[in-house]
Amino acid sequence: MKALLRACGQISFLAVDLWFLYEALAGSRRDALEMAALAVAHFLATLGFALLATERLGNNRLSAVFVVTAAGTFVPVVGLIGAAVAIRLAGMPADPCPEHACSLFDAAPRGAKVGRTADVPMSRLRAVLRARAEPKQRIAALLEAGKLDARSAIALYKAALKDPVDEVRLLAFSKIEGHRREIEGRIASLRVSLDDQQDPTRAAVLHHRLAEAHDQLAFSGLVEGDALRDALERAADHARIASRTECAGRGSVLFTLGRVLLRSGALDQAQLAFDEARACGVPSRRTAPYAAEIAFRTRNFSRVRAYVQYVGGMRRNQTRFRNVVAFWR
Amino acid sequence: MTFPYRARTPIADVGLILEGTYPFVRGGVSNWVDQLIRNMPERTFSILFIGGAPSHYAGKLYDTPPNVVHLQEHYLAAPAPPPRRRAMLDRSVLEAAGRLHEGLRATPPSVTEADMRHVLRACTIDPDAMQSTFLHARWVWDAIVSRYRATTAESSFIDYFWTVRSTHAPLFGLARTLRGFPPARAFHTVSTGYAGLAGLALGACWNRPLILSEHGIYTKERIIELLQADWLVNRRDPKSNAEPMRDLWIQFFQGIGRLVYAGADPIVTLFEENRKRQIGDGAPPERTRVVPNGIDLGHYMPLRDVRPSRPPPVVALIGRVVPVKDVKTFVRTMRHVCAAIPEAEGWIVGPTEEDPGYAEECRGLVRSLGLEDRVSFLGFRDVREILPRVGLLMLSSISEAQPLVLLEGFAAGVPAVTTDVGCCRSLIEGADDEDRAFGSAGSVAGISDPEALARGALRLLRDPEAWKAAQAAGVRRVESRYTIERMIRAYESIYDQSTRDPWLASASNFANI
């Protein structure tokens, strides 16, 4: 009944809007006052339509209302280019992770540093770096970023690589290299151990750790482009090899494999890996966020909502999940 | 008290004070010093080499030419022996030292030449008294306590006290070494830091000028090292979140830098941006000047004739295998290049002994990226043997000044792809309108960006016309602006001005100082 009412509202606003538009553009000759009144009425009708049409978009609703209203109002008046300019001026929200695969629920792989993000607001550090404050303050911001989780810190360090001051740039570089050296060193020593390993069960453990280390390179944003693809391929290869061995930790291996495949965009294979992981004893509450991610990417929004409710119930006390659940409610 | 040097060693025209470079370390600065000495055979040089610890060096890596009449080594890590006697510095020296410290902390720094000379001379002539005073004098203790209360009273005094002592400890041994270093008509250092301070002290003792030629900016490099130093990480003040001990170390090197800038004349660097940086760090603008690097074109021009007609798909990084060259980014770049041009090769041409751990990490990266048959470590080689066989030079460094290897490559007809550090962009694209008219001699990318470096390399390797245009631009640029003759003429003039005092013609005058 509610949906029917909403649909009726939308249709009526659309009809009123179109009528105003027709009157304004194709009607008989009018004076300026009448034209202005029609333009305002057209705008209000478009706004009403946008408010009703975007009701389900939660946190993004404001942007969506603006886009729909701007398009509806300005396209007939100033054409597509004008509407595009209006939208651009409004500042669309940026892609949160433009450079590497990410997930709404993404969690750090095992071994990745998880920092006290609550104590060190990333937005403040980013603002210091962006505002081109005194170099000393930017250096202090970079040093403080060390308290963040690795992925957040590396995102800040990468931004600072373009800083005009050498000290800031080189400090950022050295911090990134420090993270990279730690993971690459771990990979190198695991490979040496693997070469010497004869026992298949222990070899499977080493393959699993190698998969996690390569996954961590990708997760942290330390590799991009071809190198990112390469890291994910290697992680998947090692996880597949490890998963062929029947052992107590096979579920965990499959879980890692699922996450790597999800990051790679191989959604079907990822889903399969998570299903197998569950069959091997990995609890649903661990795989559900990733299942939600897969459902989201395959545009199955009702499943997303179901998974999110499930995860929300499990992780009621975690702020970041509360926000996600609220978004999808 | 007289200066204890006895004039048995010949007095040189120029006393070169060098920290961590020629003749024990290979690299751009060392090559520059070698060039300078060899191209001025009529002048004599004495050299004081200042290093970290003897174990860091594998002996002399350059044959010093006959006009090097004296070579002395000093290692900062060697602990200074306890003072031989309990003499103390004169009260007037302590007061001058107090004024000097205050002046160095001021913005802009305000240091009087008289105080500077008085303190440096007293400390160099009687290092035992300097050490005794610093370790035992009530006046020094009071100065440390008062400074601690004024600045970092929230943090640990023990940390503060020992940091002050640690920063000054290398100076005791250095002062003893300076007592035995022969006089010269002028002193010349290629950095501030300990070498700059030593040059300043010798200049103060012998009443001779100090010439400073900075390639990179020493203070900046030390600051970056200190910011990364793990051993300082846990010394954060819990209340202010500041790191007073790290700041103390940084202030120490900044103070030395300001002191050397206050005493050196002229203050030379390689390009305009560095000159501005020196001024920002306290160098008096009227004493600064730019003298770009230069190379001997005759050594490299013949190499153009032996090059193949098409650029070989070989990208070479010529330089020491050390973190500042970011060799790992070169390796990652080669992964992209080899993916696009399977027959491409990457050559890393340079010594690996300076940082064996880092070299091993680079080799490990080559293995982990599956590039064993594409990327080779050739070790130290004569660049004239290498340049005709490569299609492109690449510098992936995170910090450079004015890399000689780019100029050598241009002269040999090899374009380059570099990171945007030092004056690499000016070398590739031109420093001013007239220079830019020659065209681009390659391409420039941001630091730590293998994909951008690879794009630049692929554009040139795949398009022979673009490659030839870049080659021609590089040749014209180096021939018009970066010749050894220009550089040597500039330094001849600097040395002439600094050493022409006729009073110095006789060594006996030195003995009377």
Residue B496 CB coordination number (10 Å): 10
In one-letter notation, the amino acid at residue B396 is S
Residue A34: pLDDT over 90: no
Closest alpha carbon within chain A to B451: A225
Q: How many CB pairs under 8 A join A and B?
A: 59
* B197 vs B49: CA distance, rounded Å: 13
* B121 vs B112: CA distance, rounded Å: 14
Model pLDDT for residues A277-318, shown as the tens digit of each residue: 999 888 888 888 899 899 999 888 888 888 888 877 766 666
Predicted structure pTM score? 0.72
CB contact under 8 A, A226 and B448: no
What is the average per-residue pLDDT within A52-71? 68
Q: Following DSSP, what letter does each residue of B354-403 receive, concatenated?
A: S-HHHHHHHHHHHHHTT-TTTEEE--S--HHHHGGG-SEEEE--S--SS-
CB neighbour burial string for B286-301, b if at least 16 within 10 angstroms, e if fewer? ebbeebbbbbbbeebe
Highest mean pLDDT among A64-68, A115-119, B499-503: A64-68
What is the average per-residue pLDDT within B56-72? 92
CB contact under 8 A, B451 and A174: no
B228 min Cα distance to partner chain A (Å): 7
Q: Looking at residue B236, what is its pLDDT? A: 61
Looking from the CA of B388 toward its CB, the CA atoms found within 13 Å total 14
Task: State the distance between the two ends of chain A, measured CA to CA, in whole angstroms.
Answer: 19
B275 min Cα distance to partner chain A (Å): 15
Q: Looking at residue A24, what is its pLDDT? A: 65
A162 min Cα distance to partner chain B (Å): 7
Quick one: pLDDT band at residue A83, thresholds 50, 70, 90?
low
Contact with chain A for residue B251, Cβ under 8 A: no
Token output for B414: 């090899």
Residue A101: pLDDT over 70: no
Q: Following DSSP, what letter does each residue of B202-257 receive, concatenated?
A: HHHHHT--EEEEESS-HHHHHHHHHHH-GGGTT---TTT---HHHHHHHHHHHHHH
CB contact under 8 A, B368 and A191: yes
**Residue with the larger pLDDT of the pair B352 and B243:** B352
Q: Looking at residue B344, what is its pLDDT? A: 96
A176 min Cα distance to partner chain B (Å): 10
Least CB–CB distance from B335: residue in A169, A191, A227? A227
Contact with chain B for residue A185, Cβ under 8 A: yes
What is the average per-residue pLDDT within A14-36? 69
Q: Looking at residue B144, what is its pLDDT? A: 93
According to DSSP H, which parts of B15-137 are helical?
Answer: 28-38, 91-105, 113-125, 127-136
Model pLDDT for residues B166-183, shown as the tens digit of each residue: 999 999 999 999 988 999
Q: What percent of chain B has pLDDT over 70?
A: 94
Q: For residue B108, say if its preceding peptide bond is cis, omega within 30 degrees of 0.
A: yes
Least CB–CB distance from A170: residue in B224, B339, B449? B224
Contact with chain A for residue B279, Cβ under 8 A: no
Judged on CB neighbours under 10 Å (0-12, 13-18, 19+), A26 is exposed
CB contact under 8 A, A230 and B369: yes
Residue B116: pLDDT over 60: yes
Backbone angles phi, psi at A323, to 5 degrees: -65, -40
What is the average per-residue pLDDT within B177-204? 93
Contacting residues of B for A155, CB less than 8 Å apart: none
Residue A241 CB coordination number (10 Å): 18
Quick one: pLDDT band at residue A32, thresholds 50, 70, 90?
confident
Residue window 163-182, chain A: list those with CB within 8 Å of chain B.
166-167, 169-171, 173-174, 176-178, 180-181
* B217 vs A230: CA distance, rounded Å: 38
Model pLDDT for residues A103-148, shown as the tens digit of each residue: 444 455 655 554 444 456 777 888 888 776 688 888 888 888 888 8
Q: Mean pLDDT check: name the lowest of B216-225, B337-346, B469-478, B501-510.
A: B501-510
Residue A247: pLDDT over 60: yes
What is the average per-residue pLDDT within B152-161? 85
Highest mean pLDDT among A109-123, A173-187, B283-297: B283-297
Model pLDDT for residues A122-134, shown as the tens digit of each residue: 778 888 887 766 8
The radius of gyration of chain B's CA atoms, rounded to the nearest angstrom, is 24
What is the average per-residue pLDDT within B460-484? 95
Residue A78: pLDDT over 70: no
Residue B214: pLDDT over 70: yes
